[in-house]
Each structure stands twice: as C-alpha cells, then as structure tokens.
Amino acid sequence: MSDSIIHRTARLGDGTRHGHFCVFGDGVVIGNGCVIGNNVVIHDGVTIGENVRIDDNAVIGKMPMKAANSAVTKDQELPPTVIGSDCIIGTSVVVYRGCAVGRKVLIADLSTVRENVTVGDFTIVGRGVAIENFCTIGRYCKLETNVYITAYSELEDRVFVAPCVATSNDNFVGRTEERFKHFKGVTVKKGGRIGVNATILPGKTVGADGMVGAGAVMTTDCPPKKIIVGMPAKVFRDVPEEQLLENQGWEE
Ligand SMILES: CC(C)(COP(=O)(O)OP(=O)(O)OC[C@H]1O[C@@H](n2cnc3c(N)ncnc32)[C@H](O)[C@@H]1OP(=O)(O)O)[C@@H](O)C(=O)NCCC(=O)NCCS
C-alpha cells in the first residue's frame, strides 16, 4: 500500500515514480518519466513536464504567506505553477504558486522562488538563492549560491550573478508612505554580469554586457559593455572584447 496521498484527480505519467510520504493535490498533472523523492508536496493544479527530477522535501505550488503587518504582499488569485520538462528541482526547494519555470532549469537545494515569477529555459538557480515576487528571470542565466533577487526585478537572457550578490528595491528602507511610489527592483540587461558580493541599489540597471566588479556598491547604472568597481562603483574599464557575449559563439 502506498504511504503517499495522491488526490484522485491527480495524473501521473508513464514511468513516473515517487518516494514515500508524498502529497499530490487536486488536479496535479505530472508528465512521463519523472523521478520524485520522498516527502515531496505538490499543491493543487500544478503541472510538471516530462523527465523532471524533484528531490526530497521539495514543495511546489505553495500559497503565498501574508504577514499580519506586511506592507506589500497583497491577497491575490494566482495561476497554478508550471514546471517545464527536463528540470531538476533540488532538496527542500520551495516554488510558490503563480510561477512559470521553463525547460531544463536547475533549481538547486534550499532555494525559494516566490509567486509571480518566471524563469526562462536552461537557467541555473544556485543553492540557497531567493527570488522574490514579481521577478522575471531570462534564459541561460546563472544565479550562484545565496544570491538575493529583490521583488520587481528583471534579468534578461544570459545574465550571470555571482555568489552572495544582494539587490534592493526600497530606498526608503521601510519608512514613509512615499516609498510605495518608488519601489523598483533592479534590471540586468542581456549578458550583464555581477561579481561576488556586490550590492545593487533600488531601481538600478546593469546595461547589456556590463559587468559589476566584486564587492561593488552600485549607486548608479552600469553602462553597457563597461566594468564598474568600488564603493560607490565607478567605471573602471571596458569589458574585454573576448568576454563580450557576441564573441562567445553561443547561438542565442
Ligand atoms: C573587476 C575585475 C574584473 C578586475 O580584474 P583585473 O582587471 O584583473 O584587475 P586587477 O586585479 O589587475 O586590479 C587593477 C586595480 O583595480 C583594483 N580592483 C580590481 N578589482 C576591484 C574591485 N572589484 N573593486 C575595487 N577595486 C578593484 C585593484 O585593487 C587594482 O588597483 P591598483 O591598481 O590600485 O592596485 C575583478 O577584480 C573582479 O571584480 N572580478 C569579479 C570576480 C567575480 O566576482 N567572479 C564571479 C564568479 S565566482
């Protein structure tokens, strides 16, 4: 007898297997050939593509939490989460309801992806990364260990974010009503790169193929194809020709 609880309307594809103590909710659809670990919870309506691996203790389709004194999280209807084919979802990952994850995405152990987020095909979300609500993450991005992507941010394709980068969206740091008018996440244009432990202030933009040096505090935008370093960060030099996206031989 199974020790998992699978709603009678849930559909599991051919060859899909799962471990002990899983819960699959109402209307869950899981494609063929998936491998799901122990104690995995897949909430109502979630759709999982084919050949997806989901490791122990992952939770997919979690409803958002609203703190009693939350200033920004609103009650809202969210579409069910969709996970594309050939994804790998690590141990204890939490993906909220209202997320659309593309194909061949890796979301590593302990990461959290909040509601109203899209993650493009082939992107890597490293260990312990937090992607807050209302973010768009492009294709072929790399978000390394412990990156923090603040709400209302946009990362275009081929963006690289090194470990422990912190981004921010509120220059008023939680005070005044005025702040609600100015909330703005960060934008990283195609091929933009951010070095380890850099800090990006609210609303700033890394231009296409721009690079932010390690430990920089980015108080102004980073121009396209320039490297900025320091605190506050200033233009240091051009991104070397051989590092430009157009010279990598990548198709897209
Ligand atoms: C910006 C960067 C690319 C410059 O590398 P570089 O051209 O080899 O620079 P150098 O080491 O020759 O340093 C040149 C000068 O810039 C300074 N400098 C270099 N990087 C700096 C940084 N991130 N912040 C402040 N100053 C920096 C150096 O101290 C040196 O100053 P000096 O001439 O007064 O001694 C590099 O330092 C960097 O930040 N790389 C990012 C690493 C990273 O985060 N990788 C992520 C994957 S793990």
The predicted-structure confidence for 60-83, as pLDDT tens digits, reads as follows 999 999 888 876 666 779 999 999
Is the pTM here over 0.85, yes or no? yes
Per residue in 85-137, pLDDT tens? 999 999 999 999 999 999 999 999 999 999 999 999 999 999 999 999 999 99
Nearest CA owner, ligand 1 atom 47: 162
The whole-chain average pLDDT of the chain stands at 96
- pLDDT for residue 89: 98
- pLDDT for residue 73: 64
State yes or no: pLDDT of 18 exceeds 60. Answer: yes
Between the CA of 237 and the centroid of ligand 1 the distance, in Å, is: 11
- pLDDT for residue 69: 80
Between the CA of 91 and the centroid of ligand 1 the distance, in Å, is: 35
Number of Cβ atoms within 10 Å of the Cβ of 233: 24
Looking at residue 222, the DSSP 8-state letter turns out to be: B
State yes or no: pLDDT of 1 exceeds 60. Answer: no
Between the CA of 148 and the centroid of ligand 1 the distance, in Å, is: 22
Between the CA of 225 and the centroid of ligand 1 the distance, in Å, is: 16
- pLDDT for residue 67: 84
Phi, psi (rounded to 5 degrees) for 249: 70, 20
Residue 40: pLDDT band (50, 70, 90) is very high
Domains and CATH numbers, the chain: 1-64+77-143 (2.160.10.10), 150-237 (2.160.10.10)
Q: Rounded CA gap, 133 and 64, in Å? A: 10
Identify the three-state secondary structure at position 241. helix
E strands of 151-200, at which residues?
154-155, 160-161, 166-167, 187-188, 193-194, 199-200
Phi-psi region of 230 (alpha: psi -120 to 50; beta: other; left: phi over 0): left
Q: Rounded CA gap, 102 and 124, in Å? A: 11
Per residue in 210-250, pLDDT tens? 999 999 999 999 999 999 999 999 999 999 999 999 999 99
Per residue in 143-187, pLDDT tens? 999 999 999 999 999 999 999 999 999 988 888 888 888 889 999
Q: Rounded CA gap, 49 and 35, in Å? A: 11
Query: Which residues' Cβ are closer than 6 Å to ligand 1?
Result: 162, 195-196, 213-215, 227, 229-230, 236
In the chain, the amino acid numbered 196 is V
Taken in order 221, 227, 229, 234, the sign of the CA dihedral is: negative
What is the number of the ligand 1 atom nearest to the C-alpha of 195? Answer: 44
Between the CA of 213 and the centroid of ligand 1 the distance, in Å, is: 6
